[in-house]
Amino acid sequence: MRLTLCPLFSGSSGNCIYVACGGVRLLVDVGMAASRIEAELREIGVDIRDLDAVLITHEHVDHIRGIGVLCRKYGLPVYANEGTWNGIMAKDSRIPARCMRTFFTGEDFYIGDVNIHPFSIPHDALEPVGYAFSCKGLRCAVATDIGHIRADWMEAVAGSQAIVLEANHDIDMVHMGPYPQRLKQRILGRHGHLNNTDCAKALLELVKTGTQAVFLAHLSNDNNLPELAYNTVCEALKAAGYDADDEICVHVARRDRVSDLLILDTGDPA
Ligand SMILES: [Zn+2]
Ligand SMILES: [Zn+2]
């Protein structure tokens, strides 16, 4: 049995993450044009027509840009909670009803053999969530657009062998950067985005629960650098006695193209 995790796009210009397990192929968020998502999927050998569903975390445009075309052209079922659907429909009311699936935040549901746990996250959207996936003993999670570390979402992602975790910004770069004061306050606020240091802090807790691999994700183009996010996390892991990149595999999700393909394998036949 295998679980595949692969960010196709990550950052404020667009987010889309491929998750597959037990013959079920999913996308978390579709924040890029459908044609670009289709092209990056092809890079990892996946035909967009073979997807089973799309899951949406929240209605910000960097997470839903491709949703209209994906629904109308491919008829893909899209899962979101009620708050997020309200936000999506306010932006694009031409989503066909036959594609809309609604879940309750905090209530598990299944797509095929994959158990999906949508959990609440602190972010300035209507009803934002992250997702934890379990399939035949394999577990992974997606947690981005998170204002701060909070016990409830940490509990929801605990035990994930692999996680896509936000490392949005370096606090000093935000303070010294070009953004207007109001935007700086939003990013740094409790319902904005997770900084590199807090990402490292969260990861240190998660490795105690079995996390072996992380994609640092949703990096800011203006307030972060891939090396800075990577070094901040690896130094924190080393300081805590972990062999970063050997014991714990640290990847940085790329902004505009497919990242590394991460595969968890139980060794059993699928
Ligand atoms: Zn975002
Ligand atoms: Zn957002």
Q: How far is the CA of 268 from the centre of ligand 2 (A)?
A: 38
pTM: 0.96
Which protein residues have a CB closer than 5 Å to ligand 1 (ion)?
A: 62, 145
Helix, strand, coil share (%) of the chain residues, nearest 5: 30, 30, 40
**Total domains in the fold of the chain:** 1
Give me the pLDDT at residue 92, please: 87
Specify which residues 184 forms β-bridges with.
none
Separation of 31 CA from ligand 2 center, angstroms?
11
From the CA of 121, which ligand is nearest?
Answer: 2
CA–centroid distance, 123 to ligand 2, in Å, is 7
> For residue 221, is it within any domain?
yes
pLDDT at 164 over 60: yes
Domain interval for residue 12: 2-265
What's the pLDDT at 160? 98
The answer to the question of residue 206 being in a domain is yes
**Nearby residues of 236 by Cβ (< 8 Å), 6 or more positions away:** 197, 200, 201, 203, 204
pLDDT value at residue 244 = 77
Fill in the DSSP letter of residue 246. Answer: T
**pLDDT above 60 for 270:** no
What spacing in Å lies between the alpha carbon of 63 and ligand 1's midpoint? Answer: 6
Share of the chain above pLDDT 70, in %: 99
Q: What is the model's pLDDT at position 267?
A: 75
Mean pLDDT, rounded, for 78-101: 95
Task: Inform me whether the pLDDT recorded for 169 exceeds 60.
Answer: yes
How many percent of the chain have pLDDT more than 90? 93
Say yes or no to pLDDT of 269 above 70: no
The alpha carbon dihedral of 120, 249, 236, 206 has a sign of: positive
Which residue in 141, 144, 137 sits closest to 155, CA to CA?
141
CATH of residue 44: 3.60.15.10
* Residue 157 falls inside a structural domain: yes
How much distance in Å is there from the Cα of 241 to the middle of ligand 1?
A: 32
Confidence of residue 266 (pLDDT cuts 50, 70, 90): confident
- Domain membership flag for residue 56: yes
Q: Is the pLDDT of residue 212 over 80?
A: yes
Q: How far apart are CA 126 and CA 43, in angstroms?
A: 33
Cβ atoms of residues 75 and 51 within 8 Å: no
Cβ atoms of 33 and 57 within 8 Å: the answer is no
Asked, for residue 270, whether it belongs to a domain, the answer is: no
Read off the pLDDT of residues 23-42 as tens digits, 9 standing for 90 and up.
999 999 999 999 999 999 99
150: Cβ–Cβ under 8 A, 6 or more apart, which residues? 121, 122
Which residue is listed with tokens 């708050």?
83
Question: Could you tell me if residue 173 is inside a domain?
Answer: yes
CA quadruple 145, 149, 155, 158: dihedral, nearest 10:
80
Q: How many residues does the chain have?
A: 270
